[in-house]
Structure 1
Amino acid sequence: MSTPHALTDTQVTTELRKMTAFIRQEALEKAREIHLKADEEFSIEKSKLVRSETSRIDTEYTKKHTQAGMSQQITKSTLANKQRLRILSARQELLDRLFEEAGTKVADGVGKGKGEKSYEAVLKNLILEGLYAMADEKRVTLRCREKDDAVVKKAAEAAGKEFKEKMKGREVKVEVDGKERLGKETSGGVIILDHTGKIDINNTFDERMKLLETDALPSVRETLFGENKNRRFKE
């Protein structure tokens, strides 16, 4: 049996270098492997973060876009409503002024004594209307302005005669109230009361103007603004 020879210093040094090179190579490969693994995990986490942040941004953008759209719609609706209200207000002011001027013209005309014959004729018809409405009454009272006493009495006499003719001889006593009067600010006309004084027909010009305003309003709107009187106004 042969005895192994002892390694020389040179051989030992060579073997150590080989071992060192092998270990270093193993370490480099392991480090490369770890680095690749780390890069892979980093890329995965990075993709997760990017997707998550992108999703968050998209959600936030969608939310803000929706809010902006709603805010725009609210602003648009608010402006449209304000514009509509301004138009309605302007139209109502015009209507109010129109009827006010009409009332003033009535007051400045027949209602203030200008054209007494015409005023007497109007009063007769107003009184006659009340007599027909209270056809079962034997006595009625007229309330008027103090300044109209004379013309109202004439109109009442004429209305009583016509009522008797049209109602085949039925008579009604018509009196002018000497105690309670219509205010001086009243445009004219009369209030007809039954014998108890509890039932009355307001045939003053002011009241008739109110009724006319209500009845004529649809036609006036249609004439002025082109509104169909059979439907509600829409902007």
Structure 2
Amino acid sequence: RNTHICCCSVLLLCVSSQIKHMMAFIEQEANEKAEEIDAKAEEEFNIEKGRLVQTQRLKIMEYYEKKEKQIEQQKKIQMSNLMNQARLKVLKARDDMISDMLNEARQRLTNIAKDPSRYAGLMDGLLLQGFYQLLEPKVTIRCRKQDVQLVQASIQKNIPIYKAAVKNSLEVRIDQENFLPSDVSGGIEIYNANGKIKVSNTLESRLDLMAQQMMPEIRVALFGANPNRKFLD
């Protein structure tokens, strides 16, 4: 009986030892599995964190690139607006200068009529040119009140010249009821018989016509040639 008890004790000790080994093995496997899960979770976390960081970084870069492009575009627009404003100011300053020059020229027109010999020769040319432009058998002339005698003398002088040139007669009348306005510096207006056709040969109208025809030359003389202009006519 004692032998049987000893055998049982030994068997129990062996079983207990095996159970402990099994438990230790299971615990070790569990620990290793837990460590593997932790490592995998840490790796996935780092991957996801990196992905999120990269995504946000790209979004931030795109945002600032977009902002930079917007700012650059705004700068270009602002610069273009400033250049246009400056160009308009230059053009206005040039136009003002030309306008001042023409106004000064108009003020000097009164000096022409103050020189009798010069004004008489000019009147001859204005009358004869008006006759040739109308080519009418009857014309009416309007002039300044103080120029009536000068115009009468010029008519008598230039009718023969006109007749010899065009081989036609000409009847000229001075309108002494409707004189040119007082702000006109000199010259004449010539009308056909029914008054529907007019040739304005006042000093002011001749100045305006010359200014219009010579404006390209005036601009070049004042401001230099325009480098962007390819044609001169």
Q: TM-score, normalised by structure 1?
A: 0.85
1:139 is displaced (CA, Å) by 1.4
**1:66-81 mapped onto 2 (5 Å cutoff):** 66-81=69-84
1:82 is displaced (CA, Å) by 1.3
- Structure 2 counterpart SS, 1:191: strand
- Structure 2 counterpart SS, 1:5: helix
Q: 1:177 to 1:88 in 2, by over 3 A?
A: same
* Number of residue pairs aligned between Structure 1 and Structure 2: 228
Is there any run of 5+ residues in structure 1 with no aligned partner, and where?
none
Q: Contact (CA 8 Å) 1:138, 1:171: kept in 2 or not?
A: yes
1:230 and 1:166 mapped to 2: Cα distance?
46
From 97, 102, 124, the counterpart of 2:100: 97
Letter in 2 for 1:213: A
Q: Contact (CA 8 Å) 1:145, 1:182: kept in 2 or not?
A: yes
Q: 1:22 to 1:230 in 2, by over 3 A?
A: closer
Instruction: Find the counterpart in structure 1 of residue 36 from structure 2.
Output: 33
Q: TM-score, normalised by structure 2?
A: 0.86
Instruction: Give RMSD over aligned pairs.
Output: 2.8
Instruction: Find the counterpart in structure 1 of residue 160 from structure 2.
Output: 161
Which 10-residue stretch deviates more, 116-125 or 197-206? 116-125
1:2 is displaced (CA, Å) by 11
% of aligned pairs identical? 34
1:83 is displaced (CA, Å) by 1.3
Q: Deviations over 1:90-140 (max 9, x none)?
A: 111111111111111112x12xx31122212211111111111222x2211
Whether 2:144 is the aligned partner of 1:150: answer no
1:7 and 1:54 mapped to 2: Cα distance?
69
Is there any run of 5+ residues in structure 2 with no aligned partner, and where?
none
Letter in 2 for 1:94: M
Instruction: Find the counterpart in structure 1 of residue 121 from structure 2.
Output: 121
Which 10-residue stretch deviates more, 206-215 or 148-157? 148-157
From 203, 210, 213, the counterpart of 1:212: 210
Q: Deviations over 1:76-96 (max 9, x none)?
A: 111111111111111111111
Whether 2:89 is the aligned partner of 1:86: answer yes
Greater per-residue helix proportion: 2
- Structure 2 counterpart SS, 1:186: coil
Instruction: Find the counterpart in structure 1 of residue 188 from structure 2.
Output: 190
- Structure 2 counterpart SS, 1:6: helix
Letter in 2 for 1:43: N
- Structure 1 counterpart SS, 2:9: coil
2:133 and 2:199 mapped to 1: Cα distance?
8
Q: Deviations over 1:47-92 (max 9, x none)?
A: 2112211221222122112112211111111111111111111111
